[in-house]
Amino acid sequence: MALNIKRPNGTEDVIPKNINKWQTVEKVARDTAEKFGFKEIRIPTFENTNLFLRSVGETTDVVQKEMYTVIAKETKFTLRPEGTAGTIRAMLENGLLNDAMPQRVFYILSCFRHERPQKGRLREFHQFGLEMAGSSMPSADAEIISLAKNILDNLGIKNIELNINSIGCPECRAEYHKALKEYFGEKKDELCDTCLSRLEKNPMRILDCKSEICSEIAKDAPVILDYLCDECREHFEKLQGYLKNLSIDFKINPKIVRGLDYYTKTVFEFVSTDIGSQGTVCGGGRYDGLIEQLGSKAVPALGFAMGLERLIMVMENQGCEFMQKEPCNLYIAPMDEPALNKAMSLAKSLREYGHWIEYDVVGRSLKAQMKYADKINASFTLVLGTNELEANRAKIKNMKTGEQFELPLDDEKFADKFDALYLDNMLGNIDQFIIKNS
CA-wise closest residue to 64 among 74, 54, 53, 72: 53
pLDDT at 54: 81
If you average pLDDT over residues 120-138, what whole number do you get? 95
Architecture of domain 16-169+229-318: 2-Layer Sandwich (3.30)
Read off the pTM.
Answer: 0.88
Residue 428 confidence (pLDDT) above 50: no
Q: pLDDT class for 4, splitting at 50, 70, 90?
A: confident
Share of the chain above pLDDT 90, in %: 70
Distance between CA atoms of 53 and 57, rounded to whole angstroms? 5
Residues 249-300: tens digit of each pLDDT = 999 999 887 656 678 999 999 999 777 666 899 999 999 999 998 889 999 9
Residue 437 confidence (pLDDT) above 70: no
Sign of the dihedral defined by the CA atoms of residues 337, 340, 344, 350, in that order: positive
Decide which of 3.40.50.970, 3.40.50.720, 3.40.50.800, 3.40.50.450 is the CATH code for 330-432.
Answer: 3.40.50.800
The CA–CA distances, whole Å, from 76 to 48, 49, 51, 92 equal: 6, 6, 10, 21
CA-wise closest residue to 329 among 349, 343, 310, 350: 350
Q: pLDDT class for 72, splitting at 50, 70, 90?
A: confident
Q: pLDDT class for 147, splitting at 50, 70, 90?
A: very high
Residue 23 confidence (pLDDT) above 90: yes
pLDDT at 61: 67
Residue 433 confidence (pLDDT) above 60: no
If you average pLDDT over residues 57-75, what whole number do you get? 78
Sign of the dihedral defined by the CA atoms of residues 142, 148, 154, 160, in that order: negative
Q: Could you give the residue range(s) of every CATH 3.40.50.800 domain in the chain?
A: 330-432
Classify 48 as helix, strand or coil. Answer: strand
Residue 435 confidence (pLDDT) above 50: no
Residue 162 confidence (pLDDT) above 60: yes
Residues 82-105: tens digit of each pLDDT = 999 999 999 999 999 999 999 999
Cα–Cα–Cα angle for 48, 300, 138, nearest 5°? 135
Query: 243 or 435: which carries more pLDDT confidence?
Result: 243
Residues 170-196: tens digit of each pLDDT = 899 889 989 999 998 888 888 888 888
Distance between CA atoms of 44 and 289, rounded to whole angstroms? 23
Residues 221-253: tens digit of each pLDDT = 999 999 999 999 999 999 999 999 999 999 999
The pLDDT mean for the chain works out to 90
Q: Could you give the residue range(s) of every CATH 3.30.930.10 domain in the chain?
A: 16-169+229-318
Classify 265 as helix, strand or coil. Answer: strand
Sheet holding 124-133, edge to edge: 39-40, 103-112, 124-133, 301-307, 280-286, 264-272, 160-166, 251-252
Residues 366-382: tens digit of each pLDDT = 999 999 999 999 999 99
